[in-house]
Chain A
Amino acid sequence: MSAKPFLNIDHVDKIFPLGGGKEYVALRDVKLEIAENEIISIIGHSGCGKSTLLNMIAGLDTITNGVILLEDREINAPGPERAVVFQNHSLLPWLSVYQNIEMAVKKVLGDGLSPSALKEHVAKYIEMVNLTAAQDKYPGEISGGMKQRVGIARALSIQPKVLLMDEPFGALDSLTRANLQDHLMRIQMQTGNTVVIITHDVDEAVLLSDRVIMMTNGPEATIGEILEVNLPRPRKRLELQHNPEYLRCREAIIEFLYQKFAKHDD
């Protein structure tokens, strides 16, 4: 790791007051340094606070103790340099696919763009997720996978420093999910974004990430292990199925999740 990490999560706690003087410690002493252009997955059982951690990076949740720094600047509010792809896509249903992206671009980059440059910019990101044919459709008229692609295009269109994805493909069927994972890897190779993905899918974590962050169970969840995935890019899903490194990573995560930190309820 370099001397100055790009994104630095420095001894962060998240404590929720419960009333009556009680409190719930969701996250305890989380420290993580993320390099520029890195793809990081955070994996853990439900209730391990991984979404809370992502929301704190996004600035949507407050940090109880510690600090999160992006390029040495403290994060204390949401901002477009940390774009979020929400689990349920969060497209505005009264705007078309094009308008959803245009609205974000106008707000974040708007002042510097001429009308034709704006149009070109929006079109470029719609093209990137292969949705040009559906750009005038409303979110209610397209499939879940397409909606999530629009969500990704919207997040990328504002040219963020970090792309934060909260279980982005969790609500999709496995074929659609595989398709979107491939999309994401291809786009990340083009744009070189730094990406933080919350997931509970072992294969997704290994396939997409440079490092997999494994969270212990809550309360007082923290980072249990960090796994380096030494697979060259571009990665091909089919070729990886029997790759020893892929299998090693997979095994390590499964062991962590189902042996060391197995969850016995539900």
Chain B
Amino acid sequence: MISKYVNALLMPLLLLGVVIGIWSYIALQIPGFPPPGEVWSELFVVLSDPFYNNGAGDQGIALQLGNSLARVFGGFVLAIAVGIPVGLLIGMSRSAYSAMNPYIQILKPVSPLAWLPLALFVFKDVNMTAIFVIFITSIWPIIINTALGVRSVSDDYLNVARVLQLTPFERVFQIILPVAVPFIFTGMRLSLGIAWLVIVAAEMLTGGVGIGFWIWDEYNNLNYSHIIIGIILIGVIGYILDTLMGLIADFFDYRKRGRV
């Protein structure tokens, strides 16, 4: 019992001490690198007035993060809206799979930043560009996992559907989707993680407002402690997003109700 708490609490704290030690050493070696103490006190400055708005380019941290989150959700929702039907289609139809698979495999590894100039040229709008880049990079795990979920429906369940003479529509909603839903959520969880990674890079290039822009802006202001604060906040929010998605996924996963 005691060793459990030691592992859960004391060990991370111990490691934190080591990290702060190394960090302090680096700060001594590189002139201008913010030491832990400075970042700690700056964190309170940044968090004390998160909602101030002095116009474009100078806004509180909460507004920066809020803008980034809004773009992430925009792209993410679009990716879900398109990705799930496409995934269902290629999961159920061999020919649709054959038609689309080569393009999915080729487009999937393309870096989000490669899409960015093209999107900027087409949309000529920072928000639309960011949302599109999120969409195009986070849609692949949703498509692939949805298709995988559909293909993992066992023949036994499909035989039940055949004996009961379910219509194709009933088959999708009563047999295929319940099996595929946990897979779809796994895809969505991966997608959201990717989206949160992508937004920082995208906003550094598009500028305006958003956590990615904020970090880049603070770099230009030589305000290095804010860069580290940005990194920490991005990490914390990414963790919260992932945990929330995990909880939602568990809620819709029939395997979590009773053992199978």
Contacts and interface: CB of A to CB of B under 8 A. Distances in A.
Interface of A: 58-60, 77-80, 82-84, 86, 88, 90, 92-94, 103-104, 107-108, 137-141, 158
B159 A84 contact: yes
Contacts, number: 63
A83 B163 contact: yes
Given A80-B164, A107-B165, A138-B254, 9 more contacts: A79-B163, A80-B163, A92-B174, A92-B175, A107-B164, A107-B166, A139-B258, A140-B258, A140-B260
A94 B178 contact: yes
8 contacts: A58-B163, A84-B163, A86-B159, A92-B178, A108-B165, A137-B258, A139-B258, A140-B258
B124 interface: no
Nearest to A89: B156
A172 B159 CA distance: 22
B158 to A, nearest CB: 10
A257 B159 CA distance: 31
Contact of A90 (B160, B166, B255): B160
Given A137-B258, A140-B259, A90 B157 contact: yes
B162 A78 contact: yes
A94 B254 contact: yes
Interface centre among B163, B258, B260 (most CB of A within 10 A): B163
Bin chain B's interface residue count. Answer: 20 to 34
Nearest to A93: B260
Contacts of A83: 163
A158 B164 contact: yes
Contact of A86 (B156, B166, B170): B156
A204 B36 CA distance: 77
Contacts of B178: 92, 94
Contact of B170 (A58, A90, A107): A107
A141 B256 CA distance: 11
B258 A138 contact: yes
A126 to B, nearest CB: 17
B163 A78 contact: yes
Interface string B185-219: 00000000000000000000000000000000000
B254 A82 contact: no
Nearest to B252: A94
Contacts of A77: 162
Contact of A104 (B159, B164, B179, B254): B164
A104 B163 CA distance: 10
Nearest to B181: A94
B169 to A, nearest CB: 12
